[in-house]
Structure 1
């Protein structure tokens, strides 16, 4: 499924260690251990200046494929992550006590890609980059004063990017530099805040569950503590945040009707209706949306004056079809916030690195695979039957015989059992560190 990424990793031949601190401090086995743990692999140093990661990271297809089809990795809510995060806190206390790490100069806005620090670059700022990556343990050695961006720096920067929720291109673009420049004491505060969250939520997980980690914009299907699959997702914007919740998934709606939620009506539909009305157009006709009055009667869309419509005037729904934003599948569960998980008719956004773009609901890439897993053991719902429903366009509600636990969580800093410290953007600024950890 991951195409070129999978082939590149297979050709690399060994497991990549994404190390966010010293392997010697974690394992007591020195730097050699760092080359052999982790969930991705960019390969060991080849002894020359040829990068060992064979996929071309400057290819836009690489970025889209990596973001849309992330590696499985380790479960965010694994029990081992509590002790691992405590260890990371101790490590970051040491980093802070040593003065943290240096700040790097930000590249100019819209700087050409070939002008950015990357493999083969010689620039005084490379020595600062080396010092920064060495301080956090991503760079495991080498000539720390060199201004040349060699294979060691290339692999270290990719490790940093992958463990900070960025595409591992090995290019020090503005977003990467901004992430590198988040001070060590800020990262320490995030780890402490998120340890509390982990300690609260991990003991509540079942043997089989789905978790949406909002800052990561990813969905994990987990069984017996291990990830079965990880999916790219789209989460709520900062001004329309996805809520935290803990509830069972009860049923699936294939080819569903979309009943517009209150936020979409007030902040999207009515303003768009007013704009289009000024141009002699009708928003309901254009998008195939039906309006109903308080008695449940369908309203003639041409009779609606959008300048006089309030959020509670009508109810709105959209039948299944290519324009329906729910796509072919909606995953249902109890929520006081009128949110749900669903497919989408356009999957381009899943190939982007920043995916905080919804009105609070969760869009799921490759949702048909998640549906098949949720329906496992429930005849006749195998992958072929799910694919048939997608093709048919026929509405059908299917109740799960065994509801599956669902958690929406906010985990922006944690460590996993391999010793990797993970950070994600604090998109809703819940960590108490201000904008600095959300601005990249």
Structure 2
């Protein structure tokens, strides 16, 4: 399935004071709260995950998504979900009120039934109409495997995920099995994988995940493309050349409201001969600005942050840092113009350059700190895959789903129901 190409890479802010809010962003090696939830073995949680799933002692979070083990696990999940569908699926949970601990009523009864059928709640905990600690733990587990903050509160996002029919989930698994089979035909020993719907990055070596990073990926109307390439270069303290689409969609409207914007964010204007043009020489209520090149100087508020990861791409996309680290904690992380922003990117750079002479951790730390422009060629280019996987299963039976944010699964309205920010 082909992707719509992203015409732009990094976007300018639509509100004051956030030039990077629309840039390209990705993840840190900090502990993933979703993994933490899934690792819990509290007694109130079911030891099995789906009704027919064989339980395992722990979640193997070091297994890369692009691996034969995951393909086999998805095949098993398809059998399990086929059985659920054959038995009539699961009930819709009434979404007329938020559900949390101490809630009571028919909606809680339906919630219990829904969680039991999908294996998130052990049937031994009964069919009471009370939202107790067992239900709370089951909801958290359900949220974790759907990429929802695991707070145990059933609100709009969780209701939307709960009420996706079992048939849709089964079809989703089938679509993603096809993708995984193609992607895993020939897996390199060392590679980086971006899963766009999960907004997550994996650095893989020797069949195990060496690092996992949170990411920010492309908006629905500026999607991140599929990528099969190799990382060849690291730019420290890069310039940012503003894409033409961002000049038109974001920069011109911003300049109409804030004439000092370019000066504040150190964005320079150049004509075709390389001559610098002053902002007051341009009519911002016309398309005159689209005839020039806009380039942001390296500094602490540069939209690309401190470092940029380059690779050949017909779409002109890349991966990079950001000065706005707080964006990685947003639940909805589909906010770039096609590029991928990486949280904790320094650790990823160290991993990428570990075979490059002279690029020790100490040297890289200094290069981050000194503010000097520097381009480093990766001695052994690292294979890179930007993928679109909305469903997968772990070898221990944990089945994950993510929203079909770009509508590429070709299913029905339920696949996109929970995709937009609330």
**Range of TM-score over shorter length:** 0.7 to 0.9
1:328 maps to 306
**1: CA distance, partners of 2:327 / 2:47:** 26
How far off is 1:10 after superposition? Answer: 13
- 1:41-190 equivalent positions in 2, closer than 5 A: 72-107=61-96, 116-190=98-172
Measured in 1, the distance between the counterparts of 2:303 and 2:289 equals 20
1:412 aligns with 2:401: no
When the two chains are superposed, the root-mean-square deviation of aligned CA atoms in Å is 2.4
Q: For 1:367-422, what per-residue CA distance to the aligned partner results, in whole angstroms no more than 9, with x for missing partners?
A: 00100110113343233322222221111110010000000000001112111111
**TM-score with structure 1 setting the length:** 0.83
Indicate the larger mover: 325-334 or 284-293.
284-293
Go from structure 1 to structure 2 and tell me whether the alpha carbon gap of 1:3 and 1:338 turns closer, same or farther (over 3 Å shift).
closer
Deviations 1:120-145 (CA, angstroms, capped at 9, x unpaired): 43333211111001111111222432
Q: Indicate the residue corresponding to 2:375 in structure 1.
A: 397
Kindly state the Cα deviation for residue 230 of structure 1 after the two structures are TM-superposed. Answer: 0.8
Q: What TM-score, normalized to structure 2?
A: 0.86
Are the equivalent residues in 2 in contact too, given 1:17–1:37 (CA < 8 A)?
A: no
Instruction: Report the alpha carbon displacement of residue 427 of structure 1 after superposing the two structures with TM.
Output: 0.3
Question: What's the offset of the Cα at 1:151?
Answer: 2.6
Question: Could you tell me how far apart the structure 2 residues matched to 1:132 and 1:267 are?
Answer: 44
- 1:317 match: secondary structure: strand
Q: Are 2:256 and 1:274 equivalent residues in the alignment? A: yes
* Alignment-derived partner of residue 268 in structure 2: 290
The runs of 5 or more residues in structure 2 that have no matched partner are 1-28
Asked whether the 8 Å contact 1:19–1:159 carries over to 2, the reply is no
The C-alpha deviation readout for 1:244-287, integer Å capped at 9, x for no partner, is 010000010011111112332222112222343xxxx2432232
Q: Which residue of 2 aligns with 1:67?
A: none
Show the counterpart of 1:59: none
Q: How far apart, in 2, do the equivalents of 1:85 and 1:372 lie?
A: 33
Offset of 1:189 from its aligned partner? 1.1
1:208 aligns with 2:186: no
Q: In 1, are the aligned partners of 2:46 and 2:121 still within 8 Å (CA)?
A: no
Tell me how far apart the structure 2 counterparts of residues 343 and 82 of structure 1 sit (CA, whole Å).
32
The more displaced of 359-368 and 283-292 is: 283-292
One of 46, 50, 71 as aligned partner of 1:21: 50
CA contact (8 A) 1:166 1:176 kept: yes
SS in 1 for 2:414: coil
**d(CA) in 2 for partners of 1:268, 1:190:** 35
Q: Is the 8 A contact 1:253 1:331 kept in 2?
A: yes
In structure 1, stretches of 5+ residues that fail to align are: 28-32, 40-71, 109-115
Alignment of 1:28-47 (within 5 A): 33=55, 36-39=57-60
CA shift for structure 1 position 157: 1.2
Count residues with an aligned counterpart.
388
RCO comparison, higher one (Cα < 8 Å, 6+):
2
